[in-house]
Amino acid sequence: MSTSAARYRGLKRYIDYLRGPDRLSPADAGQRPGRAAADQVTGEEATDLLHLRGLWQQAYAITVTGSTWTARRHDDPARVLTADTAAGLRWQIRTDYGEWLRARA
């Protein structure tokens, strides 16, 4: 197997990992007949997801499904934030976290 093919497979597995708990196994990703295009995560979305998780993984579980970005607070799973874009979710998380900090003070 060539080095570039191995890198592609590794990247594909990583993107599937970033999709969250309802992701397909790496063996099924992209090979399942009839898989909707909305389930696919683009490279830009994977980068945004990685960035958001890197910043907020201590406080929120963050996923993207289709065009819906979701963040659930670890301390209050009933508190769910949703947005159409990563930037929109980032803004909501910052606002929510700021309110949580003020409530604790």
* Predicted local distance difference test score (pLDDT) of residue 70: 97
Which residue did the predictor score with more confidence, 12 or 23? 12
Chain segment 22-81, per-residue pLDDT in tens: 554 444 444 444 444 455 788 899 999 999 999 999 999 999 998 899 999 999 999 999
List the beta strands (DSSP E) in the chain.
Answer: 60-65, 68-73, 80-83
Give the confidence band of 97 by pLDDT, cuts at 50, 70, 90.
very high
Going from N- to C-terminal start, the domains of the chain cover 3-33+41-104
Q: What is the predicted pLDDT for the residue at 42?
A: 85
Task: Using only the alpha carbons of the chain, give its radius of gyration.
Answer: 16
84 contacts 70 by C-beta, under 8 angstroms: no
pLDDT at 33: 43
